[in-house]
């Protein structure tokens, strides 16, 4: 266990965390401002990845694909909000869960209808290929550093948006008291559509960036969705700051866990078994952490001010 | 007089029907046609139907349904096919867990099962059954072949598979033939998409070769990330990791990867060339190994149907066991546990005419059976 | 006289009995299996309805109890076959009623553990933490090699019930049907009881309930545990129906499906889960036979139901729920 390895794993955890933040930020915004549980968020992630892959294949450029993913995801988000989500604001969480669950089914099969069953090809742009040397002697992929950088920029941009613009002000006001801002003359309906589209764009962006180093296939958003929910619950629903901290915590814990737990087990049991038990424990680790945090702080680390 | 008439009628009817018993045969195909794993099921269905179509046999009906990779759906569909549709043979399941849910009870109800892919050890040894045939391999085979190759070529291996029974079987099979040093034996999560942590471990391990079993989307993600990492150790895996259905999605990151398989598109026996040409003409894409296995399964059934009636289980089973077919894989016969004895080759991923595909390098095993046949007492 | 809702309920119960009887007479055993599946899912959803419909506890992790019941059946049956002792030298068993008792007890204990922690949270946090616990159980089952892991566990021959030939589809259906009726009866009893009233009151106004001197936490925990036990029993029956149990019974998709069943039928209604299960299984079967893209249309239908048929099927047929 060298410093170089530990550093590399730490960076990996950061990268996973940053990617989770992109998903979680959208989710927590949507819940914080609109009080809506959106299970279809993973589908918007998938839409972004597919849009990027399809556009990149058509134009030959990853960057154009990336822009396309933002537009496609935001558009999909806006359409879904206008047609479906709008009717759910007054409903209880149960109906929202079911409606967005139905949307998952439709999106997944719809994507398969459009693009076929085989995974799509999406590659990293030449600019970001290869690896750079790290202190300690190892190398680290440029693209992953790019993801960390992009995610940090987005986080910063969101912070500026929320704290420094009028839109941000309305969002914050909406989180505090939904009814009041309506009474004060803010166009709630447009605000909600904008927030939903913004959340969707963040998810689509994450999908496109991650799709380049993973597999662009139907259903790719679901495991990420569950993790994103874990993140916002740990961080406190409605809090972007909580989403960032929660995401980093989950990302680093998951990565370090997968790396360290088998080694820990190897102290007690033979290596093949240690791998299996360690692997199993690592996959449960995030949920155990979440349960512990909720047992101590039932509304997450940074609960939003309103009920 | 009556006897003569009867004999004449019989002779007449037999001569007009020719060699084939004009006996209707109903096959139930349960495979994955929706969801993330649909690529394998679609290849299975297409390969199977190609053989049926080519045979021109009008007495065979194939009923196909989608199991969506859900075991309880597969069980329900199997029940329906056996009880309502009255099928004689079941086939098509891709995944071992779905097979374990369906095959034991299907054969218990007296139906044949001819597997086009899944081949768990549980059905190859003591629990083998005279109604259960496997046209593909036994799950461990391709991993064993890579173990054998690695044993000749490398000294310190890093091996990795997902933490589920097929994954564990994979590494067990690899270790059965690889006797060198193991730098590490790592189990990842099923469906895991980010392998950064494991790749970092590979870099630090000092291994001179890496063996991974990561089917479907997992393999795509891993290869892409590995190619970016700057780690320079050669990667190899069983054929599933680099099969035709995932190569286009992995892209150039797969070039040079070595794999084991029973078939590659560049085989030059007559059956393979015909199969390749027919498949490309019918479906406009290159077939994967799943299509070949299904094609052979259909051929086996057709060959048995030509000589025996499926209602006579012993006769039909005996004909199936003869494996009287021209397989694109070349040599093919059945072992005592009704799993294949076949040759296994080393392949390498290359780019031919701009398309990624597998090229045959050398033969690893000749007439390879499996480790469980000795426990089977059919 | 019979209220409209009770009339609908009677019709539903009768239909569920009539269809398999007819199918059996006509030599179509598959539809008996389908009806059995409806009955078992209805039982699982009735269990969830206790927590969700009465208590307002949206548990997104009830698949954990369903799966635990299933695994109890699978593990006991496997040991019963092979003769190997289970733990502490106890033997396995192939007797259904023993398996049911074990399934109910284990599901109840796990429900107690999960509920004790989860009920300290509320609202969407509760939904998420129940999901998390179910995921934990799921990953545990996937990684546990002894009982098949992801491949699952086969039960080669259906378990036994004294005096009944359980391998015959109709016999097994009747067993499940009777248990379903008992479950629905239990639901009705609970709903009408003091405990049930307190549970519903806690859903409607937590503060009020506390001021009257009832501690909402204990009421909810009790409700949650009973709910877990009923769903666990359904899981054991499901394992026997399919003669197979696998981690997919524990997945969050299953939890989602259970919630779908309740909403389709009508949340909090006595026969809501049964109506919902019948609708869902019928859709899945009918659509699956029509098109490969059936999941799209299933989603669409669900969406339409949620948006426009607010009370579910029972809401449509029997009007708004009446109190008392």
B193/C273: higher pLDDT: C273
C-beta separation of A215 from A278 below 8 A: no
CB A119 within 8 A of CB B220: yes
- Is there a contact between A108 and B35 if contact means CB atoms under 8 Å apart? yes
What integer pLDDT is reported at residue B47 of this predicted model? 96
Q: C58 to chain A: which residues are within 8 Å by CB?
A: 93-94, 97
A104-128 average pLDDT score: 85
Please, which pLDDT band fits residue C321 given cuts at 50, 70 and 90?
A: low
For residue C34, list chain B residues with Cβ-Cβ distance below 8 A: 76
**pLDDT given at position B53:** 94
Position A226 confidence tier, pLDDT thresholds 50, 70, 90: confident
Mutation choice for B interface testing from A279, A282, A287 by most B CBs within 10 A: A279
Q: Are A282 and A262 in contact (CB under 8 A)?
A: yes
The stretch C189-212 carries a mean pLDDT of 87
Taking residues A12-28, report their average pLDDT.
90
Domains of chain B, first to last: 7-137+267-334 (3.40.50.2300), 141-261+344-374 (3.40.50.2300)
Q: Distance (Å) from the C-alpha of residue B66 to the closest C-alpha of chain C?
A: 7
Chain B neighbors (3+ CB pairs < 8 Å)? A, C
Tell me, what's the pLDDT at B163? Answer: 78
Contact yes or no for A226 and C131 at CB 8 A = yes
At B38 the pLDDT is 82
Best residue of C151, C235, C249 to probe chain B, by most B CBs closer than 10 Å = C151
Q: Concatenate the DSSP letters of all residues of C3-41 into one string.
A: -HHHHHHHHHHHHHHHHHHHHHHTT-HHHHHHHHHHHHH
* Selected residue with higher pLDDT from B346 and C301: B346
Q: Which residues contact B7 (CB under 8 A, 6 or more apart)?
A: none
Does residue A71 surpass a pLDDT of 80? yes
- Chain C, nearest residue to B188 by Cα: C143
Residue of C nearest to A102 (CA): C299
Domains and CATH numbers, chain C: 4-318 (1.10.3470)
Supply the mean pLDDT for chain C.
Answer: 86
pLDDT tier for residue A1 given thresholds of 50, 70 and 90:
low
Chain C residue whose CA is closest to A273 = C145
Pair type for strands B340-352 and C153-154? unpaired
Using CB atoms within 10 Å of the CB of residue B278, give its burial: 0 to 12 exposed, 13 to 18 middle, 19+ buried. Answer: middle
* Band (C1; pLDDT cuts 50, 70, 90): low
Q: Which residue's structure tokens are 């068993």?
A: C93
The answer to whether the CB of A143 falls within 8 A of the CB of A128 is yes
Exposed, middle or buried, C90 (CB in 10 Å: 0-12/13-18/19+)?
exposed
Burial of A179 (0-12, 13-18, 19+ CB in 10 A): exposed
- Which of B65, B66, B101 is closest, CB to CB, to C244? B101
Residue A209 has a pLDDT of: 92
Tell me which range, A29-38, B7-16, C110-119, is most confidently predicted by mean pLDDT: C110-119
ipTM: 0.80
Query: Residue B7 has what pLDDT?
Result: 44
CB A196 within 8 A of CB A34: yes
- B228: contact with C, CB 8 A cutoff: no
Please name the residues between 229 and 248 in chain C that touch chain A, using a CB distance below 8 Å.
Answer: none
Picking from A87, A113, A230, the nearest residue to C132 by CB comes out as: A230
A103-107, A244-248, C182-186, C290-294: which range is least confident on average? C290-294
Q: What is the Cα–Cα distance from A43 to A221, expressed in whole angstroms? A: 6
**CB count, 10 Å around CB of B17?**
11
CA distance B45 to B31: 7
**Whole-angstrom distance, CA of residue C17 vs CA of residue C19:** 6
For the stretch A146-189, pLDDT in tens is 999 998 999 899 888 888 888 888 887 877 777 777 788 778 88
- Please answer yes or no on whether A94 and C58 come within 8 Å at the CB atom: yes
How much is the average pLDDT of A245-266? 87
Chain A residues with CB inside 8 Å of C259's CB?
94, 97-98, 101
Contact residues on chain B for A112, CB-CB shorter than 8 A: 34-35, 38
Token pair 């109910």 in the structure block, residue: C104
| pLDDT (tens digit per residue) in C252-271 | 889 988 998 998 888 878 88
Is A123 in Cβ contact with B252 (below 8 Å)? yes
Query: What is residue B8's predicted lDDT score, i.e. its pLDDT?
Result: 44
Q: What are the backbone dihedrals phi and psi of residue C127, each rounded to the nearest 5 degrees, phi first?
A: -55, -45
CB nearest to A98's CB, from C122, C123, C263: C263
Q: Is C314 helix (H, G, I), strand (E, B) or coil?
A: helix
Q: Which residues contact C23 (CB under 8 A, 6 or more apart)?
A: C29, C30, C31, C32, C35
Q: CB C302 to CB A98 under 8 A?
A: yes
Nearest-angstrom CA–CA distance, B206 and B336: 42
At residue C323 the predicted structure's pLDDT band, cuts being 50, 70 and 90, is low
* Position A307 confidence tier, pLDDT thresholds 50, 70, 90: very low
**Cβ contacts of C298 on chain A, cutoff 8 Å:** 102, 105
**How far from each other are the two terminal CA atoms of chain B, in whole angstroms?**
46
pLDDT in tens, chain B (378 residues): 444 444 444 444 444 444 444 578 999 999 998 766 788 899 999 999 999 999 988 889 999 998 888 887 898 889 889 988 899 999 999 988 889 889 988 998 899 999 999 998 889 988 899 999 999 999 899 999 999 999 999 999 999 998 777 888 899 999 999 999 999 888 887 778 888 888 888 988 889 999 999 987 788 889 988 988 888 899 999 988 888 878 888 888 889 999 999 999 999 999 999 999 999 999 998 899 999 999 999 999 999 999 989 889 999 999 999 999 999 999 899 999 999 999 999 999 999 888 899 999 999 999 999 999 999 987
- Residue A217 above 50 pLDDT? yes
Q: Is C131 in contact with A94 (Cβ distance < 8 A)?
A: no
Q: Do the chains contact at C292 and B66, CB–CB below 8 Å?
A: yes
Instruction: Note the pTM of the prediction, 2 decimals.
Output: 0.82
Domain borders along chain A are 3-219
Among B35, B193, B203, the residue with its CB nearest the CB of A138 is B203
Tokens linked to C118: 């989860």
**A103/C256 Cβ within 8 A:** no
Task: Take residue B112 and report the two structure tokens written for it.
Answer: 């044949």
**Contact of C149 with B122, CB cutoff 8 Å:** no
């Amino acid at each position: 266990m060298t410093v170089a390895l530990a550093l590399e794993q730490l960076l990996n955890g950061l990268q996973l965390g940053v990617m989770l933040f992109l998903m979680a930020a959208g989710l927590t915004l949507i819940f914080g401002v609109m009080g809506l549980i959106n299970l279809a968020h993973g589908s918007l992630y998938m839409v972004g990845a597919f849009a990027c892959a399809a556009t990149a294949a058509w134009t030959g450029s990853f960057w154009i694909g990336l822009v396309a993913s933002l537009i496609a995801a935001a558009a999909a988000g806006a359409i879904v909000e206008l047609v479906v989500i709008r009717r759910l604001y007054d409903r209880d969480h149960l109906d929202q869960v079911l409606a967005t669950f139905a949307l998952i089914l439709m999106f997944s099969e719809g994507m398969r209808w459009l693009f076929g069953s085989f995974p799509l090809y999406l590659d990293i742009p030449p600019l970001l290929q290869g690896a750079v040397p790290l202190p300690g002697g190892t190398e680290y992929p440029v693209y992953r550093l790019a993801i960390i950088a992009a995610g940090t920029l987005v986080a910063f941009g969101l912070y500026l948006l929320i704290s420094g613009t009028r839109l941000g002000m309305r969002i914050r006001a909406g989180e505090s008291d939904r009814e009041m801002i309506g009474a004060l003359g803010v166009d709630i309906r447009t605000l909600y559509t904008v927030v939903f589209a913004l959340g969707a764009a963040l998810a689509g962006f994450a999908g496109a960036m991650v799709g380049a180093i993973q597999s662009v296939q139907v259903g790719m958003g679901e495991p990420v969705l569950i993790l994103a929910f874990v993140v916002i619950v740990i961080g406190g629903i409605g809090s972007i700051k909580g989403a960032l901290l929660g995401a980093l915590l989950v990302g680093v814990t998951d990565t370090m866990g997968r790396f360290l737990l088998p080694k820990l087990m190897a102290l007690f049991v033979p290596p093949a078994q240690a791998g299996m038990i360690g692997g199993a424990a690592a996959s449960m680790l995030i949920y155990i952490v979440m349960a512990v945090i909720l047992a101590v702080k039932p509304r997450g680390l940074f609960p939003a001010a309103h009920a | 007089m009556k006897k003569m008439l009867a004999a004449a009628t019989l002779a007449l009817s037999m001569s007009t029907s020719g060699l084939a018993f004009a006996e209707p045969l109903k096959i139930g195909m349960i495979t994955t046609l929706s969801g993330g794993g649909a690529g394998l099921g679609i290849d299975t269905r297409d390969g199977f139907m190609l053989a049926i179509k080519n045979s021109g046999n009008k007495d065979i009906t194939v009923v196909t349904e989608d199991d969506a990779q859900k075991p309880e759906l597969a069980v329900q569909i199997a029940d329906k096919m056996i009880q309502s549709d009255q099928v004689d043979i079941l086939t098509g399941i891709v995944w071992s867990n779905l097979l374990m849910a369906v095959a034991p009870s299907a054969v218990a109800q007296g139906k044949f099962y001819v597997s086009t892919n899944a081949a768990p050890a549980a059905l190859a040894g003591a629990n083998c059954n005279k109604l259960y045939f496997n046209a593909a391999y036994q799950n461990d085979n391709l991993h064993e072949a890579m173990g054998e190759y690695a044993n000749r070529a490398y000294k310190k291996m890093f091996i990795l598979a997902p933490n589920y029974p097929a994954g564990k079987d994979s590494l067990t099979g690899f270790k059965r033939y690889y006797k060198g040093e193991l730098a590490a034996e790592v189990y990842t999560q099923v469906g895991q998409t980010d392998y950064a942590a494991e790749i970092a471990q590979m870099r630090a391990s000092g291994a001179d070769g890496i063996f991974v079993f990561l089917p479907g989307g997992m393999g795509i993600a891993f290869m892409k990330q590995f190619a970016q990492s700057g780690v320079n150790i050669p990667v190899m895996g069983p054929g599933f990791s680099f099969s035709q259905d995932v190569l286009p999605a992995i892209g150039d990151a797969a070039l040079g990867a070595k794999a084991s398989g029973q078939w590659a598109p560049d085989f030059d026996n007559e059956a393979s060339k015909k199969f390749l040409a027919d498949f490309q003409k019918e479906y406009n894409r290159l077939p994967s190994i799943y299509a070949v296995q299904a094609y052979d399964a259909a051929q086996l059934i057709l060959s048995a149907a030509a000589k025996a009636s499926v209602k006579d289980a012993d006769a039909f089973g005996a004909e199936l066991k003869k494996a009287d077919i021209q397989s694109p894989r070349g040599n093919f016969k059945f072992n005592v546990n009704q799993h294949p004895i076949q040759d296994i080759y080393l392949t390498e991923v290359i780019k031919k005419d701009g398309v990624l595909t597998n090229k045959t390098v050398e033969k690893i095993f000749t007439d390879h059976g499996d480790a469980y046949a000795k426990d089977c007492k059919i | 006289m019979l209220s409209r809702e009770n009339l609908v309920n009677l019709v539903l119960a009768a239909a569920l009995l009539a269809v398999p009887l007819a199918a059996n007479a006509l030599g179509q055993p598959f539809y008996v299996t389908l009806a059995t599946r409806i009955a078992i899912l209805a039982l699982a959803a009735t269990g969830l309805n206790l927590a969700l419909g009465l208590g307002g506890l949206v548990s997104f992790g009830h698949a954990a109890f369903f799966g635990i019941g299933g695994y109890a059946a699978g593990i006991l049956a496997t040991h019963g076959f092979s003769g190997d002792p289970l733990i502490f030298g106890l033997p396995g068993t192939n007797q259904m009623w023993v398996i049911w008792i074990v399934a109910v007890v284990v599901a109840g204990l796990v429900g107690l553990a999960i509920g004790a922690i989860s009920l300290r949270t509320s609202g969407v946090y509760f939904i998420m933490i129940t999901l998390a616990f179910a995921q934990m159980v799921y990953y545990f089952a996937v990684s546990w090699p002894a009982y098949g892991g992801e491949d699952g566990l086969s039960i080669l021959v259906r378990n036994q019930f004294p005096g009944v030939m359980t391998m015959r589809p109709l016999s097994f259906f009747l067993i499940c049907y009777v248990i379903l009726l008992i479950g629905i009866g239990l639901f009705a009893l609970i709903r009408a009881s003091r405990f049930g009233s307190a549970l519903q009151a806690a859903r409607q106004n937590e503060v009020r309930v506390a001021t009257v001197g009832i501690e909402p936490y204990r009421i909810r925990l009790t409700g949650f545990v009973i709910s877990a036990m009923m769903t666990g029993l359904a899981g054991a029956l499901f394992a026997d129906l399919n003669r197979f149990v696998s981690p997919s019974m524990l997945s969050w998709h299953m939890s989602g499906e259970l919630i779908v069943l309740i909403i389709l039928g009508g949340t909090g209604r006595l026969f809501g889960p049964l109506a919902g299960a019948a609708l869902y299984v019928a859709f899945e079967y009918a659509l699956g036979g029509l098109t490969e893209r059936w999941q799209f249309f299933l989603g669409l239908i669900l969406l339409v139901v949620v948006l426009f048929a607010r009370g579910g099927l029972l809401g449509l047929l029997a009007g708004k729920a009446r109190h008392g």
